[in-house]
Structure 1
Amino acid sequence: MKADPPWRYRWREPAAGLLFVLPMLVLFVVFRFVPALGAVGMSLTDYKISGDWEFVGADNYQRLMDDPVFHASLRATLVYAAVYVPLTVVLSLATALMLNAMVRTVGLFRGALFLPYVTSFVLAGVIWLWVYQLDGLLNGLLAKVDVGPVDFLGDTALVLPSLAVVSAWKGFGYSMLILVAGLKAIPTEYLEAARMDGAGPWQRLRSIVLPLLRPALFFVLVVETIGAFQVFDTIYVMTGGGPTRASYTLVYGLFDQGFRFFDFGYAATMGVVLFLIVLAFSLVQRFVLDREET
């Protein structure tokens, strides 16, 4: 019977792996974990820009619950997420299926579809400001069918869906690549067997592709949900939270409290509550969509 190797040999591979991830682990702890704990502590204080602070306990959280601006920003964020997340996931899935079915020039189309993702939010915002203007491209097209002009960014009912379209156009490329990788991992034998059994494209998509793609879809859904709740750049460039705070989201309110009013304790409170909301949504998605597959 072969004797077990000494403990120093048993720990050699785990120790080597830890050394490889140690630099990133240190960066994560220093720049993510420690600031997150600091934000929780700051949310319990009245922190001044001078560095002076006073412990106030849960007063900031009570103030937040009674703040009508916070309630309005939460509603705006939920409406934006309700439009942005399904739109981005459907668009990413549709383009991933298209690319997966292509044989030639797939690299060209993949690069073209991914290009908006690497474009800066400022540049994307400037481009879409021109598209949405009353005399811009979209209203010019609508005028040809005797519709409009439509004030996409000035109408309180249209501003959030319009911003969600911009963000979906800007960000779907990343999710598309994740889903393309998931589609490539599906064994072709399954699809061939289903085709030989007489299953049509819709049946193969519903019964084989989507179930096997569910882990990738779950990842995309969680990532896009987090991105929806953290939206800031597009709104800052295109609307500034308007009109009449119709696009005033949680992160925009956090930005105002921290860097406009210098109320750092209250801003930290908003950040902590935002984290808890995103965590709750992620756990619900985990329970509903990916119970045992991940």
Structure 2
Amino acid sequence: MGFAFIAPMLVLFIVFRFGPTIGAAFLSLTDYRLSGEWEFIGARNYTRLFGDALFWESLGVTAIYTAVYVPMTVLLALGTAVLLHRTVWMRGFFRGVFFLPYVTSIVLAAVIWKWIYEVDDGLLNAALGAISLGPVDFLGDENLVLPSIAATAAWKGFGYTMLILLAGLQSIPREVTEAATVDGASAWQRFRWVTLPMLRPVLFFVLVIEAIQAFQVFDAMYVMTGGGPVRASYSLVYFLYDSGFKYFDFGYASAVGLMLFVVVLIFSLIQRRLIGREVD
């Protein structure tokens, strides 16, 4: 009976997840042409990939973006969750408000924030001009473009992480924090030595999930910068997109996708191992 209930989702997973992954793995070993003709070339795509400077450059951009985006999103979500956990008045309303950007299309969010970042008439530069700062070319400066895109993605996605962390905070027994208060612990000491250790499994979960999402970034960069300036926002998935749909090198693009899959798989295995240990 249990298998009967999970059968529909299992079929969908095999057809739309597992099947395409196996197909991409095989495709990465071929020279597949747009006409449908293909030739088996073994590991030649991977050899070419490891010697491709553009691959390493895009991987570096993705790593830097991940290092900026993940702490920004998790800290913003954690701070908001702590405030909502302590606030009783209109808590449900504020949860909805903070979660609303998450259900917004990333393309729409990227377009809006691109307008906000505009050098000449953008909202942010208008505010900076009011205090005699700027204008700042947020999307045209190689040093600012990744933090600017990360801020857009963090605004769009922190609401989901906030709800997970809020659920984790609400699962902490109140007796524990009350005992720490009776013992004379300050608010910071209670948060540092009681709340954070008990929140560790949830916190690690959201860190891994956000890191996986960061490694797959593409939409915001495509809409806001087109990979520029000077490939400063040219992510690994953007490299995959160009290889497959701009140069029609489908075998090579599949090899890039498999390398991304390996990175995501490593993060997933770490998540399973460490979270399982915490639960035990």
Separation of aligned partners in 1, 2:140 and 2:104 = 25
1:1-294 alignment, distance < 5 Å:
16-135=1-120, 136-283=122-269, 290=275, 292-294=277-279
TM-score if structure 2 supplies the norm length?
A: 0.96
> Which whole-Å deviations, capped at 9, do the CAs of 1:38-89 have from their partners, x for residues lacking one?
1111111111122211111110001101111111101110110010001001
Determine what percentage of the aligned residue pairs are the same residue: 62
Distance 2:213 2:142 in 1: 22
Maintained 8 Å contact 1:218/1:286: no
User: Kindly tell me: are residues 123 and 275 of structure 1, through their superposed partners in 2, closer, same or farther at Cα, counting changes over 3 Å?
Assistant: same
Partner Cα separation in structure 2 for residue 282 and residue 241 of structure 1:
27
Q: Which residue in the other structure is 1:5 paired with? A: none
Counterpart Cα distance in 2 of 1:229 and 1:278: 8
**What's the TM-score once normalised by structure 1's chain length?**
0.91
Structure with bigger gyration radius: 1
- Deviations, residues 5-40 of structure 1 (Å, cap 9, x unaligned): xxxxxxxxxxx2221111111111111011111111
Structure 2 letter corresponding to 1:109: F
1:7 aligned partner = none
Structure 2: how far apart are the matches of 1:40 and 1:207?
46
Counterparts of 1:286 and 1:147, CA distance in 2: 47
**Post-superposition offset of 1:277:** 2.0
Contact kept in structure 1, 2:70 and 2:210, CA below 8 Å: yes
User: Does the 8 Å contact 2:205/2:271 carry over to 1?
Assistant: no
Q: Which amino acid aligns with 1:164?
A: A
Report how far residue 145 of structure 1 moved.
2.1
> Which sits farther off after the overlay, 139-148 or 94-103?
139-148
- Structure 1 unmatched runs, 5+: 1-15
* Aligned counterparts of 1:77 and 1:273: Cα–Cα separation in 2: 13
Superposition deviation, residue 286 in structure 1: 6.2
Aligned to 2:277, what secondary structure does the other structure show? coil
Unaligned 5+ runs, structure 2? none
**Whole-angstrom CA distance in 1 between matches of 2:179 and 2:2:** 41
1:98 and 1:123 mapped to 2: Cα distance? 28
* Aligned AA (1:225): A
1:230-249 per-residue CA deviation (whole Å, 9 max, x = no partner) reads 00111111111111111010
Contact 2:205 2:275 in 1 (8 A): no
1:88-139 Cα offsets, whole Å, 9 max, x none, are: 0101111111111111100110000001101111211111111101121111
Cα deviation for residue 281 of structure 1 reads: 4.0
The aligned residue for residue 13 of structure 1 is: none
